[in-house]
Structure 1
Amino acid sequence: MPATAATEDLLRRLAPQVLGALVRRYGHFDAAEDAVQEALLAAARQWDADGDPAGGAGEVSEAGGAGGAGGSGGRPQNPLGWLIRVASRRLTDILRAEEARRRREERVAASAPRDELLAPPPGESRAPSKDDTLTLLFLCCHPVLGHEARTALTLRAVGGLTTAEIARAYLVPEATMAQRVSRAKRRIKEAGARFVPPGERERAERLGDVLHVLYLIFNEGYTATAGSSLQRHELAGEAIRLTRALRALLPANGEVTGLLALMLLTDARRAARSRPDGSLVPLDEQDRTLWDRGAVTEGLALVTEALSHKPVGSYQLQAAIAAVHDEAASAQDTDWPQILALYGLLERVAPGPVVTLNHAVAAAMVHGPRVGLSMLAALEDEPAMERHHRLGAVRAHLLERAGDREAARAAYSAAAELTLSLPERRYLLARAARLG
């Protein structure tokens, strides 16, 4: 039977920790990920088999099948430990089978009992280190990989996104993304990368990619690119957790602090973003009493701290923009001139089509919709925006504000055809229908 939503959320949260534990103990990133995926599949089949989603059952039998399939069902009392044991056993089987390329592991497997194979190295705790996922994050951003490969691999291994979800985020076919992820894992293995916390210089070299990946994971959680749900809370929560851990490692880095502030200030609006039926509520229509004031307060304090560090980077500026929105008691009270000025700075610091798109919205709020529409013209030939629904949605909104109802209706309908998110599609079609 399929796993419950609660079990799927739990598995997604635990997967990076399991992968980190295996890579730390045994190495072999690519084989370890395969073993983890088999353990997750086994858990999805077994843990809800007895209809006990509360997790009160004892340990599940791991005797059956590759990766520990079998058993009477029920979620174990220690899900993380269960997954690590099952994945470790499956990895041991994989390593034994790869005699030509895994001579060292084959000798260990031939000479040691299975229980010893699962034991950590001398002096190492059996429980996975709390830093495992962070170490895995930096490993996936190894300099031997290109920028896109680093991001794709991290989204897959640390963020828990499927290959299809990553492909949609990058607007490429799923098969292309699958090849990209496979090549990335192979290159890390060929480079002899070790699963150890990076030194100060390595952290500095990889930090930009790490921050970008965390940003993408959060965005996928805050607004899912596909499916029936507008938001994927577990992804947004995992991105915030990882960014907190990164800030604990680098407390004086303004961009790390800025990214955490941006996430908190954005996620604070979560409860107001959708109605009980799951339909989307745009920012200017949200009930701001539903916003998480604790997250807003923390985020505002972090923005102040982040902006004290120079030079100011893109995440610090985006956090400052989010702060202006969150400080406004109502949509009408929003300080759009300040937001416009911040977007002007952001476009100089980190230019890109999405920044230009948001800059156009801010300009329209200050100078009128026609000004915003003229700025959108610069994006018409951008390959990254050609099939992106947001460009059409913003154009439709500005056309509606400019009084061109017919053109706005057509633009809303065209944008709806481009999104794979059902809540966004319904919202766009509703806006089109409202215009006649």
Structure 2
Amino acid sequence: MDKNIAGKTMEKWIDELPMIKDIIDTNEVFWINSEIADFKKTDITWAIKKEDIEDAKERLKRFAPYIAKVFPEARENNGIIESPLKDISNFKSQLQDINGRLLLKCDNYLPISGSIKARGGIYEVLKHAEEIAIGQGLLSGNDDYSKIDSDEFKNLFKKYSIAVGSTGNLGLSIGIISAKLGFKVYVHMSADAKEWKKELLREKGVNVIEYDSDYSKAVEEGRKQAQNEPNMYFIDDENSIDLFTGYSVAAERLKEQLEGMNITVDEEHPLFVYLPCGVGGGPGGVAYGLKMIYRENVHLFFAEPTHSPCMLLGMMTKMHDKVSVFDFGIDNITDADGLAVGRPSGFVGKVMENLLSGVYTVKDDKLYMLLNLLAKKEEIYLEPSALAGIPGMFSLYNTEAGKEYIRKNNLEEKMKNSTHIAWATGGGMVPESQMKSYIELGENKTF
């Protein structure tokens, strides 16, 4: 108990923040962020401007003809990488009769790589490719970008390399799009990464470098490789503003989907969004964009495995990336591989300090039970990490912290008009045999 963590003993941290004891014991917790800004009283300084997000949205539109040409699965939506928003009332009825409508944002159906990483990861690669091509005089913003599918562009891009560190899904998105464009690509993968993801990348011509250590080691080695190779571009999941901005584009698109379903979001009709969180870039970008649009009328929660609560510890202690789960004796071992991160992004944690409503944790067994139930009731198939957003609605209504949040924000009378969105972050590319074993693991488990 006398070990120092960011200048304090474990005993001191537990004394100041008693919930840390439950976190260390890997119990499920529901933490409310006391630093969230009151939009009616505070002027927010936005780290990423609305124009930056609009610029990203327009860039993705420019690339849509290319995406549609080279990825047949993206043609239905004319090359725009987007996912459906689905009502899962059959599933919700099995959990508990609680107020509000529960929807699933199905990023497991995103084309190309079947996860939320198809947003930020593919976006950053496309932006990098565009900068190279424009710099070499082969492309202008007014061109039909389908021309990029040619030997001329592939011969250009093969002179350049891309590297990334990943637990799996970011590596898939970066690897698939980079290889398709013609880049040499290196994906440094942590021990948590599933074998089928590594095999799929190798089939696409990607160089996969494996580590026995966790996510942080994979990122460190990827960064180190890029520093030693002049034509190599490192995609930094921990600190990339481009990744973050690419994810943020999802918010405006979600707004359009809600309007298309005649769902109102205002003071009397609050929106709650629950986002699985690993290092933080994906959920942070989406949450940031939503907060910019809906301000005090959207309530945002991150979800983490009980064995990998890095963002929770970073935000709760206000130490962000200065602390890791290992500092608190937590092993970072979880079947939710996309969330198996020991140290959070300091960039994301600081950006979300005044915007995030809270963080909750969930046990692996519950993820499997929910996976099984969702498959049976809705015929929607997710990987374990993608289920982490689903218990959020239940926890909000059934924990003392959640009930207090509702009371404190004067939401009691508004909850009957509330909309809840669980962000399903991945699972679209899981092999059938693997998915079957996931479903079997969820049998006979209770919520």
Q: Same fold (TM over 0.5)?
A: no
- Structure with greater helix share of residues: 1
- Structure with greater strand share of residues: 2
When the two structures are superposed, what TM-score results if normalisation uses the length of structure 2?
0.26
> Max radius of gyration: which structure?
1
The structure with higher relative contact order (CA 8 Å, sep 6+) is 2
When the two structures are superposed, what TM-score results if normalisation uses the length of structure 1?
0.26
